[in-house]
Structure 1
């Protein structure tokens, strides 16, 4: 079975160290408290529901699964004793759970905690936005359709420390999935005791990661991670506390960093250009895409010519270089650059080519055709976005570019708190919505799965039989035929460009300012930076 990996040219590994190593006695005198920023409010602390970047980042600090990610994006053992080799032609995995690992209440973590968590997540009653990650596990499809019970999912605990998983088809990236919060364990007794309150505030949540969550009431704009004294690897956790603060405006974050009130902050736009000579600046390139999703249930966006006109009217390169100016790149298509074919060594996005062109003349032509088809001379819609500075700036660019190019089109912007944006997206209460996706595992299918007809994250409700067939071929039919699977994914990506259920805006890049006293803060191509590896030095 061949493995996928990310192209080295499309990731930036940040390993931050102090300029000198202080004496051991000096280290003890340094307060081990990190002050860091985060982009938005925390929507949930329930691993079954944690889908957005902020929730996944928080879960990665306070919870842990069978595996975690290393700096290169590889899955490495966490609660699993070791990396395992599948049997039965890649269909069966048997994991040994680390003995002595405990929940923050002192109870031991067992294989049954994984079984309960996974069954709870796939249960249609949970309405988990992450349930589709389990689609490759035996009986998931039938469970999601209500034909089988969650207890019939292909996972079982043969004893307290042995977990067996049966797949419906081989998945070369399956062990990377296990580092994702959706696959973390849950303590059944605690979850059922808390009921609907579970994961809605710090005290109604149980932890098994390097830290526990404090000072979060469900709506807080700041919270704290405190070292978890029950964590199995606590001896290697140097930080005693991490103070998190939601920062939505770049200027505010920059000022807090300059004043010493933050040790780490994300920046964007012209601030990145201004800080290019600053040694505290660190750029993280990601194989991720920021895009605008169109609600195809709305009359305007049900029209293909209208969708295509809007896509052609937007200039991804101009947005990335002139508007954002933070290291982000032009989006070649929905699937970003950074995924390499292990047989040909060709990058997926580059092999597909630039399928996200800018053509104002053709955009105007298609727009006029769309208006005739719709029987209108004017149209209007609202852009839904988060109320942070970045999304608002991108929305303003879209508003200006489309209004100038497409005659008779009027656009308004609705910036709302992050949690509200998520709620409106999931309920379909939007015209168009800004969103982004960074890979959960190193495979193009992680992007393509999002637009399957029945995927809960297909917020625009786009349905295309040919697209679903391509994705089915990549996931199931050609699971063991590397090149045919690759070609099916290429066809799916091209079809997105032709049908335009969403418009790729740019390939994501992150810029961070990090205090030189922070050692061990590492950003890889997958997952979040783990604060358990951080130490504060003089």
Structure 2
């Protein structure tokens, strides 16, 4: 059966009560449409304090609302928050919440379907309160949760002591001063704290519902609750099946305060290749892709961000290409002036690390900290190459190939870099394009000398982009001294009271990494959200890969 027809049938079948909303379209406002999208994997968990994979984060982003969110210009704006104050010392954040945000789940929908009275549904719903955010942060720091995000919030009062096992997680510096006021107390100022409150990890958790799940929270449709635009109606996944999908419906209670335009969402759970086919066959409404041909065709509306920095990394276990002097010589030999004219329309030259999609103070970070300002002091590539040969005790370098993922971009610019290296140093390096699965496996197994590698951030901050490189220290062959020095700069940046004061620390951290030459940046790559012109106001986060549908409209 056609999947769009299946979803439409479900919409009719499930419209058992007025509370749940119907599938009627409002062609004047674009509301009432059933949007469809393909996830390239089954979500691992819909627990905001745990989820890390793109499929999970996309579903969570449409299920939950946090105190704050990022708008489309990269600024932090209130969501469940109504207003907030920050103390002069930057160590206390007092957040006043809206009183019209509600929890809703499949269990609530079932009760609504059987209720015979005509009372306002809000009278039966549980409001989201400050206690739900307090409990979320206690879970975040609970060692039993084992959240991958808690270190980001280490500036919270007692955060480090809890992580060191000295205090219980209930001692974390998050309190409810009244039903709708959350107070965050920090041990030290953190200029990124407001941005962190806009991330998935800071979403609320209803303790009563959590304990009622008996260890299955976030793992099936009966163990997921929503305070966002939609609630989860069905989650079906069979690893051997073809009709795997997640079906969501508009949270009509929350739509009263802030209109949710689609009536329903269907997420098909298939692979990346099927995602493209579904979009081309008009079975889905949008596609997240790095393929620039969709944008170039002129047939679609596209949103794009340069969110990934691609560059060269060297196998730290390779007998020759792991040499630091050689890395630096090759870095100096890869001059952007030579290869920039050969880059495709979807890429721009990069000689810094943080991609342009990262924004601060209402601007692109790269406007505030230019690429030129992070460049290390000049050295001579030929001198460094000779030094590398002496350190390795060899007369010449053995040939090698650069491992690259096939189809990522036109590699004419990379060929130009290789040609220049041959002219400068007199050795041959080839290019070895392989399919994405083979590429990932060879990286994991260390079966490469040089590889093209992409890095970005999983939230909108220079600190996120730089920290992601630090987390890959072992694979990049970064020196221990560089690791310590960059960590020190990021810690200094985190302790600054305002974002503008962090810029010099980020600049210094970026320069240190470039001096180490463990990652040689070459180009920034566009990522696109593509949809047909009859759809409007879809959005995506270029850092997490989340696609958001609450404001999406469809016109015929």
Quote how far apart the aligned CAs of 1:526 are. 7.4
The worse-fitting range, judged by mean Cα deviation, of 85-94 and 197-206 is 197-206
Alignment of 1:445 with 2:463, yes or no, is yes
1:215 aligns with 2:235: yes
Stretches of structure 2 lacking an aligned partner (at least 5 in a row): 1-23, 109-125
Partners of 2:96 and 2:283 in 1: CA distance = 43
State the partner residue of 2:160.
141
- Cα deviations across residues 391-417 of structure 1 (Å, max 9, x unaligned)? 5x6999979966985858788778666
Report the equivalent of 1:236: 259
SS in 2 for 1:498: helix
1:243-254 alignment, distance < 5 Å: 243-245=266-268, 246=270, 248-249=272-273
Question: How far did residue 151 of structure 1 move?
Answer: 2.2
Q: Which runs of 5+ in 1 are unaligned?
A: 1-22
Query: Which residue of the partner structure matches residue 350 of structure 1?
Result: 370
Q: How many residues are aligned here?
A: 495
Residue correspondence of structure 1 range 31-430 to structure 2 within 5 A: 32-38=33-39, 42-80=43-81, 82-99=82-99, 101-104=102-105, 105-106=107-108, 107-192=126-211, 194=213, 197-213=216-232, 214-217=234-237, 223-229=245-251, 231-233=253-255, 236-245=259-268, 246=270, 248-249=272-273, 256-269=278-291, 271-272=293-294, 274-275=296-297, 278-286=298-306, 288-291=308-311, 303-309=323-329, 311-312=331-332, 322=342, 325-337=344-356, 339=359, 347-350=367-370, 352-353=372-373, 355=375, 362=381, 366=384, 369-370=387-388, 373-374=391-392, 378=398, 407=427
Structure 2 equivalent of residue 506 of structure 1 = 523
CA distance in 1: counterparts of 2:294 and 2:148, whole angstroms:
34
Q: Secondary structure at the match of 1:179?
A: coil
Determine the C-alpha separation between the residues in 2 that align with 1:319 and 1:458: 29
Cα pair 2:310 2:525 within 8 Å, conserved: yes
Looking at structure 2, the residues matched to 89 and 335 of structure 1 have their Cα atoms a distance apart, in angstroms, of: 29
| Distance change (3 Å), C-alpha of 1:342 and 1:532 | closer
Please list the CA deviations of residues 125-184 of structure 1 after superposition, one character each: whole Å capped at 9, or x if unmatched: 544332232032222223333333322221122344332110222334432321210101
Query: Cα offset for 1:529?
Result: 4.6
Alpha carbons of structure 1 residues 414 and 43: separation in structure 2 relative to 1, 3 Å: farther
CA–CA separation in structure 2 for the residues paired with 1:86 and 1:488:
23
Distance 1:534 1:341, change over 3 A: closer
Identify if the C-alpha distance between structure 1 residues 190 and 515 changes in structure 2 by more than 3 Å, giving closer, same or farther.
same
2:111 aligns with: none
| Segment drifting more, 71-80 vs 308-317 | 308-317
- Name which structure has the greater RCO, CA cutoff 8 Å, separation 6+: 1
Q: Which has the greater radius of gyration? A: 2
Closer/same/farther in 2, CA of residues 467 and 428 from structure 1, 3 Å limit? farther
1:470 to 466, 474, 489: 489
C-alpha separation in 2, matches of 1:181 and 1:481 = 21
RMSD value, Cα:
4.7
Q: Is the 8 A contact 1:333 1:355 kept in 2?
A: yes
Higher deviation after alignment, 487-496 or 209-218: 209-218
Output the TM-score relative to the length of structure 1: 0.73
Q: Give the secondary structure class of the aligned counterpart of 1:350.
A: coil
